[in-house]
Structure formats: C-alpha cells, structure tokens
Amino acid sequence: MIDRIPPTERAPPEERADGRRRGGPAWAPLYAQVQALLEESLERAEWRPGEVIPSELELAARFGVSQGTVRKAIDALAAANRVVRRQGKGTFVATHTEERSSNFRFLRIRRDDGEYEYPQSRLVDLKRARAGADAARALDLRTGEGVYVLRRLLEYGGRPVVLDEITLPAARFRGLTRERYDAFRGSMYGFFETEFGVHMLRAVERLRAVSADRATASLLRVAAGTPLLAVDRVTYTWGERPVELRRGLTATAEHHYRNELA
C-alpha cells in the first residue's frame, strides 16, 4: 500500500511535504513528494556526486515522515540511477567517475563474442562553432549560439570502432580545451561531471543505418560505402535540460548495439 498524505493533513497544492512551496499535485504519494525534495537537493548539489547522503532515519526526521516512506523514495531514486546503495556503507550520489562498469549504462556498443571491453577514447578534434538549426533545436539554444563540437574515436583492442561527433552548449562547458580534455583520466561523462559540474542523467536515442563517407571511412579504417550504425543521442541533466547532442557512427563487423528490456 502506498503511503499518502491523509486528507485531514493534506497540504495545499502549492506546498510540499516539508511545508515549502512545490509545483507537484497534493494527491501525489508521500514518498513521491519526498523523492522530489531529494532530487531538488541533488540538483542543488547539497550532496555532490560520490558523496553519501543522510541516513533514512535522518531524512525521515527532516521531512517528518516514516522511515518506510523515505526508503521508498530512495528506492525510486536508485532505480533511476540517481543514487547507489552500498551494503553496510549507506546511499551515495551516483557518479560517472566510479568504476568503469557503471558507464556501460550509456555505452551500448559490445563485442560480438560477448566480452565486456571498455574502449580507449582518442580525441580527433575539438572546435568552437555556432549552433545550426538542428543542434539549436535539440539543445534548446538559439540558432547561432556558441557550442563546442568535438570528435573522438572509441577503439576496441586498438581498432577504431565508433566515431562520435558531440555538440555541447558553450555556456555550460566554459573553458573546454583539448589540453583540459587530454589531461583528464576517466570517462567522458566523468570529465563533464568533474570539470564542469554537468551530470548526465538520461538519454534519448534514435538508431538508423547509414553508409560511410570517405572521411568517416578513413577514420574507422573501413571502405567508403560500408554500412554503419548511426546512433543519434540527446542527453539530459537535472531539470530535463538537454546538454549533449551526439551522433555515433559504429562499424558493426565485430560489434553490435546492445539494449536490455525489462
């Protein structure tokens, strides 16, 4: 049974579980209201990626709810990959700087033999540009607004398999340079999180088949006209704000895109 605010205790629609103003409906389950409050705290970086959040008992006291209600809220956050539970240690804010396996949530290219291999990333180029109409629409920018465009190769076993072209809003990634990128040791999303405070939460992707043009074929070491898998992605941070537009072109002779539905 889902905990709800009893009718006699139900706050006006503009108030939240802790009495502050909120935009959600008053009829939302109490755990969902607590979840929303915790998400606001995460967005404000009250607890930074990798840090432990207060215990269930502490949060229950903070919000004036039961420990069970807090547990449901945290379970929902864990299911959405906002936090990570660690047995005997507590609950931590999810981070892209953790062990490489955590980054497979966004990295879907796998070897055909089933082996898990984390690719090496090699930056091809990085430049400042102006957003075209399509990029501006995807990133909620004005046409002509500043963006960074970078291309990188993902290499598996020393062989280039994926060519990424990534467009980022310049205002969110001020000071991005090749030197800064090359100096970071870790995943690209870990770089965005650590250096720019941009935490990637979810992505929407579209897949289609394309043919390799000459420039792409040269970088991927395939023949021009070779079929490639194109994965177009828009990635979102807190507040459903789009912060990355990416097209990945994948050579699929020995690799495939893997998704798991449950």
Let me know whether 83 and 183 are in one domain.
no
pLDDT tens per residue across span 25-83: 457 789 999 999 998 998 888 988 888 999 999 999 999 999 999 999 999 998 888 88
Task: Return d(Cα 55, Cα 74) in angstroms, integer.
Answer: 10
262 falls within a domain: no
pLDDT over 70 percentage in the chain: 87
Mean pLDDT to the nearest integer, 99-124: 78
Name the more confident of 104 and 233.
233
CB 146 within 8 A of CB 131: yes
User: According to the model, what pLDDT value does residue 260 have?
Assistant: 80
Last residue within a domain, chosen from 93, 110, 145: 93
Task: Return d(Cα 89, Cα 55) in angstroms, integer.
Answer: 10
Mean pLDDT to the nearest integer, 115-144: 94
User: According to the model, what pLDDT value does residue 103 have?
Assistant: 52
In 3D, which of 51, 77, 65, 55 has the Cα closest to residue 18? 65
pLDDT tens per residue across span 147-166: 999 999 999 989 999 999 99
Q: The CATH number of the domain where 15 resides is what?
A: 1.10.10.10
User: According to the model, what pLDDT value does residue 98 have?
Assistant: 61
Let me know whether 79 and 138 are in one domain.
no
1 falls within a domain: no
Let me know whether 194 and 232 are in one domain.
yes
Let me know whether 113 and 240 are in one domain.
yes
pLDDT class of 215 with cuts at 50, 70, 90: very high
241 falls within a domain: yes
- The total number of structural domains in the chain stands at 2
Let me know whether 159 and 205 are in one domain.
yes
Q: 23 is in which domain, residue-wise?
A: 7-93
User: According to the model, what pLDDT value does residue 261 have?
Assistant: 77
CB 137 within 8 A of CB 129: no
Structure pTM?
0.77
Q: Is the pLDDT of residue 229 over 90?
A: yes
